[in-house]
């Protein structure tokens, strides 16, 4: 007897195939069979009716011709009354024949339509065994996922996307277009579910209010809302917030698409503060791919800011390398700090590195053709996430850019898994991040002389340290006339690094 792990796996696979055959495939087959059977029975009923008409005609010595006309078999002479009665019977039979033929033609056409539909529309037929998706067949690891997906035919891919969109949408190694398809479907479904639950809770609240059951008497004759009513209100507020985040994400993507951008929703989550990963440009075919990690206070409710910055970098890269295809990704795939106290602790960066590394590996595995030049960059605490990922994993990206960084968790460029000439840092004078840089809680200042790598120029745009901190993607008004004269030099440098034009990068000193 065949034994061992391979034997057990084979028997499990056979059992699953049997379940598929007796389950989904059989269900589809029965559906097709029942539809065809109903059409056939209607056709058979008209044939039986036609036979009954022919029998009645024979009893009256009448014959039904091929064109449906009813004629006498014997041309005997009849009296006036008998002739009138026979003519009435002929008229009645002729009408029965006409009605029967009309229904027969309709039944015949219906049967033909069902047969043709079953042939031309595969979704109405049982799926072949290989197209019945099983989540246990999906491998782990970006490289294995990419190979598995490439080995499926289009019908199998469509079946998996339909069956497991919520799983495949966030699976690293999947192609960008497939992830986008899955995530768009899941997001739309989640919005529908949120709408339904919001409507239900609003009805419950209205019913409590109408019956006066939302208030209760407290001490000293005072009244207060019941616990049930308060819980429902809190749940309603939570659901409405999630719905606002979800529809806001949809609207932000639609805005970019109206501007002519190819946009891909590569991942998202409505849990807690929310997360999103959106690409402008197709990373699977891009010559240059940049992944930008945002920092403190970033969440799904303000994700439009990150998409605006990604859009700016995408346009800058197009101008820097007009003959090349570039993709820029806003990666809010982690729980960013909610306040400065959290932003002083590297733990949230540590927690994010595994997911970010997997995502970067997935981009590489799903890429088509020659390798893409890949840049990982982060702003503020996002640079801590990016730097810590480069420090802990090899082969993550070709270049690292840190913008207004409080630290990369490294004390020198030598601790990072990149050559020093591919490590770039930008901090504008007067940026509020200078104090955290001096404290060194998240590593040494990456723009300092002793750190290593390349410090690049950046203009201070803004009237305060916090404005300067967010001004790296803005235009500079050099003469104060209110008209932008040129982009922040940091933008130009970022575009040149993303597109690999290192000789055009302006360094400090």
Give the per-residue SS3 of 7-41: HHHHHHHHHHHHHHHHHHHHHHHHHHHHHHHHHHH
* Tens digits of residue pLDDT in 111-165: 666 666 655 554 444 444 345 788 999 999 999 999 999 999 999 999 999 999 9
Q: Are residues 308 and 451 in the same domain?
A: yes
Domain boundary among 130, 161, 184: 130
Q: Do 431 and 383 touch, CB atoms closer than 8 A?
A: no
CATH number at residue 363: 3.40.50.1820
Q: Specify whether 293 is located in the same domain as 354.
A: yes
Contacts of 405 (CB under 8 A, 6+ apart): 378, 380, 383, 384, 387, 425, 427, 433, 437, 445, 446, 447
Is there a domain that residue 26 lies in? yes
pLDDT reported for residue 10: 43
pLDDT value at 211 more than 60:
yes
Counted domains in the chain = 3
Give me the helices (H) in 121-175, please: 142-150, 154-163, 165-168
Query: Which pLDDT belongs to residue 94?
Result: 75
pLDDT band at 332 (very low <50, low <70, confident <90, very high): very high
Percent of the chain residues topping a pLDDT of 90? 68
| 26-35, 90-99, 281-290: segment of lowest average pLDDT | 26-35
Residues 42-66: tens digit of each pLDDT: 767 777 877 787 787 777 777 777 7
- The pLDDT-based confidence of 213 (bands split at 50, 70, 90) is confident
The average pLDDT across 209-214 equals: 88
Between 143-157, 210-224, 361-375, 466-480, the lowest mean confidence (pLDDT) is in 210-224
Residue 369: pLDDT above 70?
Answer: yes
371: which DSSP letter?
A: P
191 and 295 share one domain? no
Q: What percentage of the chain has pLDDT greater than the value 70?
A: 84
CA angle 447, 453, 457 (to 5 degrees): 50
Give pLDDT, residue 74: 65
The whole-model pTM stands at 0.74
106 shares its domain with 168: no
Which comes out higher in pLDDT, residue 140 or 478? 140
Are 242 and 306 within one domain? no
| Mean pLDDT, residues 295-307 taken together | 97
H-helix segments, 259-369? 303-320, 340-343, 347-366
For the chain, give the mean pLDDT.
87
Shared-domain flag, residues 320 and 445: yes
- Model pLDDT, residue 114: 62
Domain that holds residue 31: 5-130
Residue 285's pLDDT band, with cuts at 50, 70 and 90, is very high
């Amino acid at each position: 007897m065949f034994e061992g792990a391979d034997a057990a796996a084979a028997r499990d696979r056979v059992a699953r195939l049997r379940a598929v055959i007796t389950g989904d495939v059989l269900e589809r087959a029965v559906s097709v069979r029942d539809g065809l059977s109903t059409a056939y029975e209607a056709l058979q009923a008209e044939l039986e009716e036609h036979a009954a008409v022919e029998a009645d005609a024979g009893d009256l010595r009448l014959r039904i011709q091929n064109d449906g006309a009813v004629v006498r078999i014997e041309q005997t002479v009849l009296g006036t009354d008998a002739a009138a009665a026979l003519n009435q019977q002929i008229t009645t039979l002729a009408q029965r024949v006409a009605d029967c033929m009309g229904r027969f033609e309709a039944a015949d056409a219906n049967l033909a339509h069902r047969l043709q539909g079953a042939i031309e529309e595969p979704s109405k037929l049982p799926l072949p065994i290989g197209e019945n998706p099983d989540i246990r067949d999906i491998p782990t690891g970006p490289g294995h996922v990419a190979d598995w997906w490439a080995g499926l035919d289009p019908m199998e891919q469509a079946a998996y996307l339909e069956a497991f969109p919520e799983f495949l949408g966030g699976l690293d190694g999947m192609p960008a277009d497939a992830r986008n398809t899955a995530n768009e479907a899941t997001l739309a479904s989640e919005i529908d579910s949120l709408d339904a639950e919001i409507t239900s809770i609003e009805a419950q609240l209205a019913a409590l209010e109408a019956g006066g059951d939302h208030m209760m008497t407290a001490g000293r004759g005072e009244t207060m809302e019941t616990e049930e009513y308060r819980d429902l209100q809190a749940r309603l507020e939570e659901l409405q917030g999630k719905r606002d985040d979800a529809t806001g994400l949809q609207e932000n993507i639609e805005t970019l698409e109206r501007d002519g951008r190819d946009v891909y929703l590569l991942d998202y989550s409505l849990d807690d503060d929310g997360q999103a990963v959106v690409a402008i440009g197709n990373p699977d075919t891009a010559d240059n791919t940049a992944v930008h990690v945002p920092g403190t206070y970033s969440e799904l409710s303000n994700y439009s800011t990150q998409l605006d910055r990604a859009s700016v970098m995408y346009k800058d890269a197009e101008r820097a390398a007009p003959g090349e295809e570039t993709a820029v990704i806003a990666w809010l795939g982690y729980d960013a700090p909610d306040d400065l106290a959290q932003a002083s602790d590297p733990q949230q960066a540590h927690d994010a590195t595994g997911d970010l590394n997997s995502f970067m590996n997935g981009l590489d595995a799903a890429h088509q053709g020659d390798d893409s030049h890949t840049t990982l960059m982060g702003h503020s605490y996002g640079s801590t996430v990016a730097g810590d990922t480069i420090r802990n994993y090899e082969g993550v990206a070709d270049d690292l850019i840190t913008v207004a960084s409080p630290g990369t968790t490294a004390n020198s460029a030598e601790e990072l898994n990149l050559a020093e000439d591919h490590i770039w840092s930008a901090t504008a004078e007067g940026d509020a991040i200078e104090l955290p840089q001096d404290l060194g809680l998240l590593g040494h200042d990456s723009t300092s002389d002793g750190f290593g790598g390349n410090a690049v120029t950046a203009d201070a745009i803004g009237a305060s340290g916090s404005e300067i901190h967010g001004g790296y993607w803005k235009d500079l008004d050099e003469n104060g006339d209110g008209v932008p004269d040129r982009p922040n030099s940091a933008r130009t440098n970022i575009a040149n690094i993303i597109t690999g034009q290192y000789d055009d990068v302006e360094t400090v000193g």
